[in-house]
Chain A
Amino acid sequence: MPEWITAKWLWWAGLYLALGVFLPWSMTRSWARRHQKDFKPAPSRLFRRGELGLLSLLLALSVSWDLERSGFSPTMVAVGSVLLAMSGIMAASVWVETYCRDATSSHLDLRRSWVASRNLSLLVFSISIVTEILLDRLTKVVHQ
């Protein structure tokens, strides 16, 4: 394995998945066990109202902050931050739209909300992972 691959970005991605996705999901299962209910929600049911989109916006903000403090040129920081912010906002807008449709009793397709928030969250997550890898590489180059 190449020397520059530290576990930092891997830990970071793992923590995000563990605390943001698997922890709430396992909490629902433990709640069901404690209350002895026959209730085993899948992530697609737990996050079907677009909650992953809200989580993605928070992730995009934290990675944007890392990018801001990096040694990349200001133009690069701006391009990366705008891309992260746009994809994060689009992901969060799925949650907002689902809430608005639900609150106003408009036509609501929860399956569509889940698919949209899942795909946009996957985009934010993959951009965040690659950004952290690039930041890791840059740190090594700067310290050489």
Chain B
Amino acid sequence: MFETLILMLDATMRVSTPLIFAALAGLFSERAGIVDIGLEGKILGSAFAAAAAASVFGSAWIGLCFGIVASICLAMIHGFACITHRGDHIVSGVAINTIVAGLTVTLSMYWFGMGGQTPALVGDARFLDITFPFADAIASVPVIGPIYSNLLSGHNILVYLAFAMVPVTYWVIYKTRFGLRLRAVGENPHAVDTAGISVAFIRYRALIICGILCGLAGAYLSTAHNAGFLKDMSAGKGYMALAALIFGKWRPVPVLLACLLFGFLDAVAVRMQGVEIPGIGQVPVQAIEVLPYVLTVLLLAGFIGKAIGPKAIGRPYVKERA
């Protein structure tokens, strides 16, 4: 039983990692007042760019850089539409998701000709698992052993980075000048403007960070979690991250918990496949899979708590007569 739990938590960490990156990405964007349903597209774009570059250059790190750059470019398109041209944030997000879904397949067919995949990544072209010191030695110690050796040790660097990003995000958002201004822009851009700060510049910077984090999420998918790019491999993770962002009420630590919850549900769903539970029978996998979405809907409807987003979210900033 204990071992099963450790295995499931281990899986939870792996599954949650891209969600954490993407949800934090969304947090930066949405706290600055930009709705981002383009998380999905940025993850997918980065996953492709990272896998393609990693396979060409044979380095996961170079792949990561390409993934991040691709994701930032997409974030800048979103910014150009929403900030500079006061476009609808949702429409822009849908556009980006659609363009990326088509473009990744088109380009990968052109470059690699493998039915929309990239070649399998091997060796340094992937982020490999890191084993902590003494992990093997204490693996047999009861309780602590499995926790240290199996759960904490043995992940790739991006998993640790994702978890490290949570306190970093918290610090940036709540403890720095940039964070203060970013939160202010999402709540009342007029206040920021009259304080002599450029609303657009802050929002663009928030989107750059959003791009970086989505880039990490995408690169994780194709060069760490998997060994290459597959068509539509983001498979709704961007939307689930958005759900986690709402479920965590746009705050870093609750967002982390929401990602872990959603990741755990995924691990449970995999585990429960075909398992008979005494007295209940088989629980359909799909019932567990939809829980994140159902929970988010219930939260939004105010049946379980209340989700109140940043006040100025989704509205273009137009300078008005004071």
B is bound to A:
no
Residues of B within 8 A of A (CB): none
